[in-house]
Amino acid sequence: MNKVAAAFGIQEALDKLGIQTVNNGTATGSDNFASGEIISSYSPVDGALIATVKSTTKEDYEKVMEVATKAFAHWRTVPAPQRGEIVRQFGEKLRELKEPLGKLVSYEMGKSYQEGLGEVQEMIDICDFAVGLSRQLHGLTMHSERPGHRMYEQYHPLGVVGIISAFNFPVAVWAWNTALAWICGDVCVWKPSEKTPLCGIACQNIAADVFSANGLPEGISCLINGDYKVGEMMTSDSRIPLVSATGSIRMGKIVAQAVASRLGKSLLELGGNNAIIVSPDADIKMTVIGAVFGAVGTAGQRCTSTRRLIIHDSIYDKVKDALVDAYQQLRIGNPLDENNHVGPLIDTDAVALYEQALQKVVDEGGKLIVEGGVLQGEGYESGCYVKPAIAEADNSFAIVQHETFAPVLYLLKYSGGVENAIALQNGVVQGLSSAIMTNNLREAERFLSANGSDCGIANVNIGTSGAEIGGAFGGEKETGGGRESGSDAWKVYMRRQTNTINYTTELPLAQGIKFDL
């Protein structure tokens, strides 16, 4: 371990999470089936190699699926409240290991330590939600038109659920899916991002300990590592009835087509191009706080990050000046140092896309009012640290229509009524998160109405990022239409069955059809 990792206790965190590294840096402890090529995990914090893991080959994958399928045959017969008890224990383990897991998330992914802890808290919260849900997997009863008949519907487990997650939330999104799937009686095969494989190993170790302590099959939770080729094994596998995929729109379209070609189900959480509307009746102080965190939190690498700020022309200069002042106060550096606001991008490829976006907005006629740039020198050796930037732009710019996974905020101006701002906000292909800042009740209700925001998430007087697990999370249009986490999102992990019971000695047919013998 280098001096940064040593100073912030990364090795101790790895030890607590059951991740040992041998002399060549290979992580051990959970890749029992893996025998493929080496994946190296480098920290964007300091550029250091944390460890390497083995990727999953086709032969390895078949072994995993065999174990998972066998585990499902048992797990689906366990009563849901008993499954809830296992998830409760998993949540308790997460409470015990919140600090080291949050630290690993921060070091391997690059988000601030506080955000890393928050991500683990999301895992804990969804476990609590799922435990309560384990006694509420309810169907409906319906009146039959036939005398002496009873109708109802119930939900059954689907089977093996495939989960493909992204680097920016390397543990929480997996838990959103897994906690609900486990409660529903499913087993899970997870492919984490190849950019954050150690977070996947850590979670798998925690889950494996819980299942082992309860004498349950290890295949209830399975981990496979690798790039898109490993993901293709899942999307083309008819043994996996549901694939939940989080990532780019480009990736989501590929997954959707592959899964649909075999008539499987896909749950897609794809890109966002999220906007905050700032009306003349907005609280400017609240607006600045919400916009800045939304734009620079996780270094702009959230699907719910604020990309566009749509400001009424009457307050445009006032809001712009406040934002410029706020950006001058941002501290950029090691995310494990809680004095810093902004950490690094995930890798140098992301830095290149950030630089391209800044150049494109200028080329299209925009103006940088807070100039960006790549930071160099002591503390920035990884080459992944950039300055959050603000540009004045137009909604029609090609780069504004595109989601750049970096801290770049576009300021757009509107005039007239709030309907004009809503039209700008909706004028992109993505439809994930949205917000309006206003103290005008009519504007707020118009924004939330059927002809208001077309996004899956619409907030009033809070920003676009930061969702609670109690509500269903997801978006419309090219965001994919999926819903995860709270509300009735659990239903996607189950199959619905309608049952009719005849308790008479007659056999009447529906719709009055006669068929006498």
Residues serving a catalytic function are 269, 303
Residues 6+ apart with CB under 8 A from 460: 435, 436, 438, 444, 447, 448
CA distance linking residue 517 with residue 506, whole number of Å = 13
SS3 for 216-265, per residue?
CCHHHEEECCCCHHHHHHHHCCCCCCEEEEECCHHHHHHHHHHHHHCCCE
In the chain, DSSP finds a helix count (H) and a strand count (E) of 16, 23
Q: Residue 83 burial (CB < 10 Å; 0-12/13-18/19+)? A: buried
Among 502, 275, 247, which residue's Cα sits nearest to residue 409?
275
The residues, any chain, with a CB within 8 Å of residue 266's CB and separated by 6 or more, are 242, 243, 244, 245, 255, 256, 259, 260, 482
Apex 154 CA angle, 150 and 155, nearest 5? 170
CB contact at 8 A, 60 and 224: yes
Q: Are strands 149-157 and 141-143 parallel, antiparallel or unpaired?
A: antiparallel
Tokens of 243: 């694939």
CA distance 210 to 89: 7
CB neighbourhood size of 500 (10 A): 12
How far is 238 from 228, CA to CA, in rounded Å?
18
Give DSSP secondary structure letters for 461-503: SS-SS---TTSEE--EETT-S--EESTTGGGGGEEEEEEEEE-
List residues bridging with 500 in a β-sheet: 151
**What's the rounded Cα separation, in Å, for the pair 190 and 169?**
14
Amino acid at 332: I
Residue 134: its H or E element: none
